[in-house]
A and B are shown apart, each in its own frame.
Chain A
Amino acid sequence: MATYILRRVVSTVAVMVMVGVFVFLLLRLAPGDPADIIAGPRATPEMIAGIREQLGLNQPLAIQFVHWALGILGGDLGTSIFTGRPVLELISQRLEPTISLSLLTIILSVTIGVSFGVLAAWRSGGLVDRILTAFATLGFSVPVFVVGFFLIYLFAIRIRWLPVQGYQPIDHGFGPWVVHLILPTVTLSVPYIAFIARIARASMLEVLSEDYMRTAAAKGASAYSMLFHHALKNAGVPILTVIGLSFAGLIGGVVITETVFNIPGVGRLVVDAINNRDYPIIQGVLILVSGLYVLINLAVDLSYTLVDPRIRY
């Protein structure tokens, strides 16, 4: 297993190098120039050229890339073109809201999604199954921003239980933190609950039709024992895969939710950076996200051994 983990970590580095090259070139080849945007709409070409020179954007691409890559190796993601602040500082300022939202979303999605899936499989073909399947279809089909605005209208404007927008750091108190995250978490969770529920249901249905489940029933095992001790563990691998994919997909999903609920997270940071062509921020966030993505995949692969002893690395 240690060899496997080592091999995967090494491949993570290779993936990040490829992502780095790709992101760097993609940004430079895309239309738009931070110097144009800094100079403002009324700048003359000479002013823009001066700013390009000050920012080093007139240097050959290879030299710009080497500077950036050497910085990363030294733990420096560069400096934001617009704010003049270190990218690492800007990202760390925005990490807490994004991590909070992602973790709460994955906890809620897994808890409800797996429960719904198990319940629907247990009552397959019945009213509960049909209701949950309809919810899953709806949850998967309705865009996140529609759910978000609906919840804002209902809970923040009409009955005024929850705030419309904003974020409170957890060190300002658990209450304000969680209150500000309820609506965004529910909003972001809806498609993931639907996704996980559908996969969990399908996987559970397959396992429940196995001979050993019939044997367990014949031996008098309770419904709880059959579902949670026998079936769920055997249905676990595809469910874990989906949870891993969902967690990785959340990284993209938070952008819309952070915008709708005005949460100052990494998603908003990177969208603003794209609009401003603030290359160092975009590159820094994408490098971190790609590393995180690969590590989540590794964690999911390793977690298979916990639910299926036949899997060995």
Chain B
Amino acid sequence: MSWRGPRIFRKKDDKTFTAALKEPLGLLLDLLAKLAGPVPFMMREKDADRPATEQVTANIGSGPFKFNEALAKPGASFTYDRNDKYAPRKAAPDGLAGGKVVNVDRVIRENIADQQTAFAALQSGEIDYIESPSADLWALIESDPNLELQVRKSGSVFFMRMNCLLKPFDNVKARQAMLHLIDQEAVMRTTYPPKYINSVTSVFGNSTPYSNEETTGWFKKGGDPERAKQEAGYAGEKVVILDPTDWAAADNMAQLLAAALRKIGVNAELAPSDWGGLVARRANKGSVDNGGWGIFITNESDVARGDPVGNPTLSANGENGWYWPKDDEYEALRAKWSVVESLEERKSLARKMQRAYWNSVGTVLLGEALSSASHRKALTGLIDMPDCTPVWNMQKA
């Protein structure tokens, strides 16, 4: 998505630009410095003006690396060469900011489809780094003296979205019952080792500045199926759970969820498909008999939950929004988010938003899995930050 609005940015000098706005936008710097969710990409105007479906072919090479188009194999590998013309700033690296000193000549990003193969290649030294190794490999990585498992401070938050247009989840009581039903630890342990999972009770995630404890009394370790059963107001409707069988974590969780729902008497049915099939079906607003659905499970970066304006999963604007929860009180508060300027004001607003959100329950959180990467110990200088690992500053012995 490109910003096609009025030209608000003006160049002041070689290192400065100004933004002229019609109204206050306290979030401007946050929006420009985003890490996750929809992030802004700065492009040349003629490239930004291309349709979303058209490939950008220009390789300008203004950063620490240059894309090597001759060696590009879409879907298989991409190669990036050190940009000798890039002058890093004289400062220590700091996340995506700071000095970006490149210590290697070339970085090759290989798409290895099979995780077991990727792990074997890491063990044998054919590759140096794996981004997001699957959880079942973590113990093996930790047991290999040549490898290191880099567990980040934050991870991805899993959540289930209920179809608020259909019974039973058009009833807020049924959605609130799901808060009581879910045992986050049990859900997350279907896929992740216990020491790498966290419960998450704040709409704003665990690691964002806006994370808070407002109206989280529903959370109970082990869940509370009896209370869920009593409060659901369930009348026997079929609940179709979309089950992406090509995504192990969501597949495992969907199966556990179906079992938990059946235990409290809900007529839950799994609808297995690949992720592509799920994405198509979840757009269907029709009844279950016409291909509609009741629940799907997905995840997003914990960091992304700190941005209720840019992140549509944190909206509750009904059929115009992301899978249709509707809460006018929450939306009125959300509208203030971009106007509020100070961090403290925004934290206070976050508490009010969370109170409203957990009353209407647009989403049920399932827990956080800390994200990880793995690398050979000979690879040093990795920058520890949420969501990604920059490839500058790395050194290979």
**Using a CB–CB distance below 8 Å, which chain A residues touch chain B?**
30-33, 36-38, 41-42, 44-45, 47-48, 50-51, 54-55, 80-85, 90, 93-94, 149, 152-153, 156-157, 160, 163-166, 259-262, 264, 268-269, 271-272, 275-277
Question: Nearest B residue to A46 by beta-carbon distance?
Answer: B320
Question: Nearest A residue to B285 by beta-carbon distance?
Answer: A45
**Using a CB–CB distance below 8 Å, which chain B residues touch chain A?**
1, 37-38, 51-55, 73-77, 110, 112-114, 116-118, 120-121, 123-124, 126, 246, 273-277, 279-281, 283, 298, 300, 311-313, 320-322
B75 contact from A84, A157, A268, Cβ within 8 A: A268
Q: How far is the CB of A114 from chain B (nearest CB, A)?
A: 31
Question: Nearest A residue to B320 by beta-carbon distance?
Answer: A44
A84/B280 contact (C-beta < 8 A), A157-B124, A259-B114, A262-B110 known: no
Contact sample, A vs B, 22 pairs, CB 8 Å cutoff: A32-B274, A36-B279, A36-B280, A36-B283, A38-B53, A41-B279, A41-B300, A55-B53, A81-B53, A90-B75, A160-B124, A164-B123, A165-B121, A260-B116, A260-B117, A261-B117, A262-B113, A262-B117, A268-B76, A268-B113, A271-B113, A275-B275
Query: What CA separation (Å) do A142 and B178 show in the bound complex?
Result: 44
Q: How far is the CB of B128 from chain A (nearest CB, A)?
A: 13
Name the 5 nearest CB pairs between A and B, nearest first.
Answer: A84-B55, A264-B76, A32-B276, A31-B277, A83-B74
Query: What CA separation (Å) do A243 and B380 show in the bound complex?
Result: 51
A contact residues around B74 at 8 Å (CB): 80, 82-83, 85, 90
Query: What CA separation (Å) do A80 and B279 show in the bound complex?
Result: 20
Number of residue pairs spanning A and B whose beta carbons lie under 8 angstroms apart? 119
Question: Nearest B residue to A269 by beta-carbon distance?
Answer: B75
Query: What CA separation (Å) do A36 and B281 show in the bound complex?
Result: 10
A54/B277 contact (C-beta < 8 A), A42-B312, A164-B117, A262-B112 known: no
A31 contact from B124, B281, B311, B321, Cβ within 8 A: B281
- Chain A binding surface SS class: helix
Question: Nearest A residue to B312 by beta-carbon distance?
Answer: A42
Query: What CA separation (Å) do A152 and B112 show in the bound complex?
Result: 15
- On whether the beta carbons of A85 and B55 are closer than 8 Å, the reply is yes
Query: What CA separation (Å) do A29 and B311 show in the bound complex?
Result: 32
B contact residues around A82 at 8 Å (CB): 74
Query: What CA separation (Å) do A263 and B291 show in the bound complex?
Result: 38
Query: What CA separation (Å) do A246 and B334 show in the bound complex?
Result: 62
A156/B124 contact (C-beta < 8 A), A36-B276, A44-B322, A165-B117 known: yes
A contact residues around B300 at 8 Å (CB): 41
A54 contact from B1, B51, B276, Cβ within 8 A: B51
A contact residues around B311 at 8 Å (CB): 42
Query: What CA separation (Å) do A41 and B301 show in the bound complex?
Result: 13
Q: A38-B53, A45-B283, A259-B117 are in contact. List 8 more A-B contacts (CB 8 A).
A: A36-B280, A36-B283, A44-B312, A93-B73, A165-B121, A264-B77, A275-B246, A275-B274
A contact residues around B312 at 8 Å (CB): 42, 44
- On whether the beta carbons of A42 and B38 are closer than 8 Å, the reply is yes
Query: What CA separation (Å) do A250 and B73 show in the bound complex?
Result: 23
Query: What CA separation (Å) do A85 and B54 show in the bound complex?
Result: 10
Q: How far is the CB of A101 from chain B (nearest CB, A)?
A: 15
Question: Nearest B residue to A50 by beta-carbon distance?
Answer: B52
B120 contact from A153, A269, A276, A277, Cβ within 8 A: A153
Query: What CA separation (Å) do A32 and B124 show in the bound complex?
Result: 38
Query: What CA separation (Å) do A271 and B246 show in the bound complex?
Result: 12
A contact residues around B322 at 8 Å (CB): 42, 44
B contact residues around A38 at 8 Å (CB): 52-53
Query: What CA separation (Å) do A259 and B75 show in the bound complex?
Result: 12
B contact residues around A166 at 8 Å (CB): 110, 121, 126
Q: How far is the CB of A91 from chain B (nearest CB, A)?
A: 12
B contact residues around A80 at 8 Å (CB): 74
Q: How far is the CB of B310 from chain A (nearest CB, A)?
A: 9
A contact residues around B114 at 8 Å (CB): 259-260, 262
- On whether the beta carbons of A42 and B313 are closer than 8 Å, the reply is yes
- On whether the beta carbons of B53 and A54 are closer than 8 Å, the reply is yes
Query: What CA separation (Å) do A166 and B275 show in the bound complex?
Result: 27
Query: What CA separation (Å) do A272 and B112 show in the bound complex?
Result: 12
- On whether the beta carbons of B276 and A277 are closer than 8 Å, the reply is yes
Question: Nearest B residue to A36 by beta-carbon distance?
Answer: B279
A163/B73 contact (C-beta < 8 A), A51-B53, A156-B120 known: no
B contact residues around A36 at 8 Å (CB): 276, 279-280, 283
Q: How far is the CB of A26 from chain B (nearest CB, A)?
A: 14
Question: Nearest A residue to B110 by beta-carbon distance?
Answer: A262
Query: What CA separation (Å) do A277 and B54 show in the bound complex?
Result: 17
B contact residues around A50 at 8 Å (CB): 52
- On whether the beta carbons of A163 and B281 are closer than 8 Å, the reply is no
B contact residues around A84 at 8 Å (CB): 53-55
Query: What CA separation (Å) do A94 and B298 show in the bound complex?
Result: 33
Question: Nearest A residue to B314 by beta-carbon distance?
Answer: A42
- On whether the beta carbons of B51 and A262 are closer than 8 Å, the reply is no
A contact residues around B121 at 8 Å (CB): 164-166, 262
Q: How far is the CB of A82 from chain B (nearest CB, A)?
A: 8
